[in-house]
Structure 1
Amino acid sequence: MRAAPRARRPFTGWHMTIILVAFFVVVMSVNIFMAVSAVSTFGGTVVDNSYVASQKFNGWLDAARRQQKMGWRRAIALDDARHVRVTLTDQADQPVSAGIITGRAIHPLGRAPEVKLSFQGMGHGVYRARQPLPAGRWQVRVTLAGHGDTQHIQKEVD
């Protein structure tokens, strides 16, 4: 003998309310997650004026090609005391003297004031900033002037 089929519960307004609330909770959760991810990972403005940047683009490409021809290997890092270290070597891993090195550290979200960096030679192609960086993530931009050319290095450090 077969059991009698169970009666179906009717679809009521409460069911629709639960479905709508669940849907909007999911949508709002995803939106909040995406907004928090975007704010925490985006470093800020790439360029202030894209038209002006486009006019300078070919000059930037030429400067990059000149830098590449020199064959310098450049590295930026933080030491344990949070001083910026710049290491310069040539293609044969021999130290390079850079002439004048200047730099600045910019907080990616503009929450801290810009820090001007001055460097001192430590020998063997290593240059160390005289002042340490405050804690946090920083965009370090270093300018090397010497050997008849100017080079720019940029790296984000944390």
Structure 2
Amino acid sequence: MTQQKQERVRGQFTGWHIFAILVVFFGVVVGVNVLMARFALSTFGGVTVENSYVASQHFNRWLDEAAKEKALGWSADVVRREDGRLEITLSGPGDGVVVTAEAWHPLGREADRMVAFDLASAGHFVSREALPAGRWTLRLKVEQGGDMWREEVALQ
């Protein structure tokens, strides 16, 4: 084989080159898709509502309830103590208040927990049990007489 023909063969772009490029390209695309799907499924926290049509039938009632709760003007300050128990300071409601809460882990890695509170002093409540460390969303429910107020608080 002549020198000129050898150089042409060595620098030639063949079908094997395009095959290798396509395999690498689609291998990267499939690999990234598998990785992203794995991340998405591992952090899926569940559904918000089971049936969106049925939930839509209650939407106006939920708006009315939210307006009534806002009109009460109540607020809550939630603090996690060093021992893991929660302290809630309420402003607004008077005597005869019942405070309950549901703690749920935003990523669904921990089971939901009901949290009970005892009255420590006027407007100040302390949870009976400690809440494990980590991120939690606390759904507070405060009832006094016929009034009810709800709030979601993110705990770090």
Q: Please report the TM-score for the alignment, with normalisation by the length of structure 2.
A: 0.75
CA distance change for structure 1 residues 16 and 140 in 2, over 3 Å: closer, same or farther? same
What is the number of equivalent residue pairs in this alignment? 149
Q: Is 1:68 paired with 2:70?
A: yes
Query: d(CA) in 1 for partners of 2:43 and 2:124?
Result: 31
Gaps of 5+ in 2: 1-6
Aligned pairs for 1:4-153 (under 5 A) are: 9-90=11-92, 99-123=97-121, 125-153=123-151
More displaced stretch, 107-116 vs 128-137: 107-116
User: Equivalents in 1 of 2:95, 2:27: separation in Å?
Assistant: 60
Amino acid at match of 1:80: E
CA distance in structure 2 between the partners assigned to 1:43 and 1:156 by the alignment: 15
Report the Cα distance in structure 2 between the residues aligned to 1:157 and 1:39, rounded to whole angstroms: 23
Deviation per residue, 1:51-94 (Å, 9 max, x gap): 2221221111111111111122223343332223333224xxxx
SS in 2 for 1:133: coil
Change (3 A) 1:99 1:77: same
* Structure 1 residue runs without a partner (length 5+): 1-5
Report the aligned-residue RMSD. Answer: 2.8
Between the two proteins, what is the percent identity of the paired residues?
Answer: 41
User: Given the superposition, is the C-alpha separation of residues 12 and 98 from structure 1 closer, same or farther in structure 2, using an over 3 Å criterion?
Assistant: farther
CA contact (8 A) 1:44 1:108 kept: no
Aligned partners of 1:86 and 1:37: how far apart in 2? 35
SS in 1 for 2:57: helix
Contact 2:44 2:108 in 1 (8 A): no
